[in-house]
Structure 1
Amino acid sequence: MSLTRWGAALVGCATLLLTACTVVDLDANGKPIIPADPNAKASFDNQTPQQIAQQTWQTRVIDAANKQALDANALSAKMKSSSSTTQSVFVRLTSKIESVDVSNEREHKLVINVNGQPLKVQLGPVINGNAIRDATGFKFEDFTNQVQFAQLSRAYAREAVKHLPNVDPGWAGKTATMTLAVTLNGGKAEDAALLEIKPEAQ
């Protein structure tokens, strides 16, 4: 083969190689920027619990609650069927607000009636328990940094309070639709946390 043909062949090969390659952008240090794998498991290694709560609030809490929330009848059935276990669930109820207690600066609560039983619902600013975090389906093993998992409950509680209106004693006697996260423990509803509330038209 002549040198001319060799040269043409080499140029052809180089062209094929270049067209087969994907151009990768470089960062400020000249290192390639690898696009995130959309199928990769989310990593929270370098995030604070508050950042995780903020980034996942809509998808893991509000959107999930809209899809999975139990009504009053389903909640009662779940309480009976899980009387020997502990689990947290999302609940949506329309109920008359029996009372609102804001006498404790740190722990405001309202009381509603669910199938003949009173249920205390936490309004913040302090919300106790792990109901919100555990209802999302997050598990201990989802986090490499276990401190994040332990502190995520408090971060979600702060996020919930940020999105709530001011519920004061003036709400007592009103009927409202509420979305809650509730822990079912031994057949009882505990640590109910308010996520959303909307008063019904009178």
Structure 2
Amino acid sequence: MKRMRAILAISLALAVSGCTVVDLDASGNPIMPKDPHAKPGYSNQTPQQIAEASWQSRVLDVAQQHAMSWADMETKSSTVKAGGSESVFVRASGTVAALDESNSRERILTLTLNGKPVRVSIGPVMRSNALRDAAGFRFEEFTNQVQYAQLTRALNRHAVQQLPKVDASWVGKPVQALLAVEMGHGTVNDVMAVELKSGEAP
């Protein structure tokens, strides 16, 4: 018994000597250092809160730095593996060829870009992961697949809220667009509007 107590005493002493001093907050609770391997604090935020809080830093700033031209996007799509997909931001100037409002929930704006018609989703419902993936959000940052999927819908809803009111008066006019595009191998799968501005580029 004495031997066991001695071993326990030595173990306790070693444990105490190896401890580091931890600062306390105003309530006297220890302030724990941030775990470098921890996931971001998205678990305590709703998808809508994440979309709103990260819109500037993770969507607009990323688009500003990495958006490519429509022609460059088409070239890049040829490098996508067959059966795979990749999403990018694209800045494009074109002309509005048509506005399809036959489905009032999923309206489509057809833009003529580089002489080709391109169907662009403008909402209010947009069924695409292109924005989330182009912005670089990764599954590993979230609690589970459900939260990750809900973020897609929240980001798309937030994008729609930023768009101007698009009506028939836009048809035939020039437009400046920031788009989120999902590419397949040599193809364009989904295109959704992130920003739209009627008129020529300044």
Instruction: Identify the TM-score tier after normalising by the shorter chain.
Output: 0.7 to 0.9
With 100-109 and 119-128 compared, the bigger mean Cα shift is at 100-109
CA distance in 1, matches of 2:22, 2:81: 57
TM-score of the aligned structures, taking structure 1 as reference length: 0.79
- Given that 1:26 and 1:32 are in contact with CA atoms closer than 8 Å, whether structure 2 keeps it comes out as no
Partner of 2:73: 75
CA distance in 2, matches of 1:37, 1:173: 55
User: Across the two proteins, how many residue pairs are aligned to each other?
Assistant: 180
CA distance in 2, matches of 1:201, 1:118: 18
In the TM superposition, residue 34 of structure 1 has moved relative to its aligned partner by 6.2
Partner of 2:58: 60
Partner of 1:16: none
With 153-162 and 79-88 compared, the bigger mean Cα shift is at 79-88
- Given that 1:83 and 1:187 are in contact with CA atoms closer than 8 Å, whether structure 2 keeps it comes out as no
Give 1:115's aligned amino acid. Answer: N
SS state of the match for residue 143, structure 2? Answer: coil
Give 1:196's aligned amino acid. Answer: E
Q: How does 1:1-202 map to 2 (within 5 A)?
A: 24-27=24-27, 30-31=28-29, 42-82=40-80, 84=82, 85-201=84-200
In the TM superposition, residue 158 of structure 1 has moved relative to its aligned partner by 0.5
CA distance in 2, matches of 1:64, 1:124: 22
TM-score of the aligned structures, taking structure 2 as reference length: 0.79
Structure 1's unaligned 5+ residue stretches are 1-20
Structure 1 residues 94 and 41: CA distance shift in structure 2, 3 A = same
Partner of 1:15: none
CA distance in 1, matches of 2:200, 2:129: 32
| 1:136-187 Cα deviation digits (max 9, x unpaired) | 1112222123311011111111100111110111101111110010100232
Say which one has the larger Rg.
Answer: 1
Structure 2's unaligned 5+ residue stretches are 1-20
CA distance in 2, matches of 1:22, 1:152: 36
CA distance in 2, matches of 1:23, 1:83: 51
Give 1:154's aligned amino acid. Answer: R
- Given that 1:183 and 1:189 are in contact with CA atoms closer than 8 Å, whether structure 2 keeps it comes out as yes
- Given that 2:89 and 2:134 are in contact with CA atoms closer than 8 Å, whether structure 1 keeps it comes out as yes
| 1:117-154 Cα deviation digits (max 9, x unpaired) | 32110111000110011111112222123311011111
CA distance in 1, matches of 2:86, 2:179: 14
CA distance in 2, matches of 1:161, 1:100: 16
CA distance in 1, matches of 2:36, 2:196: 34
Give 2:79's aligned amino acid. Answer: S
Task: State the percentage of identical aligned residues.
Answer: 44
Give 2:126's aligned amino acid. Answer: I
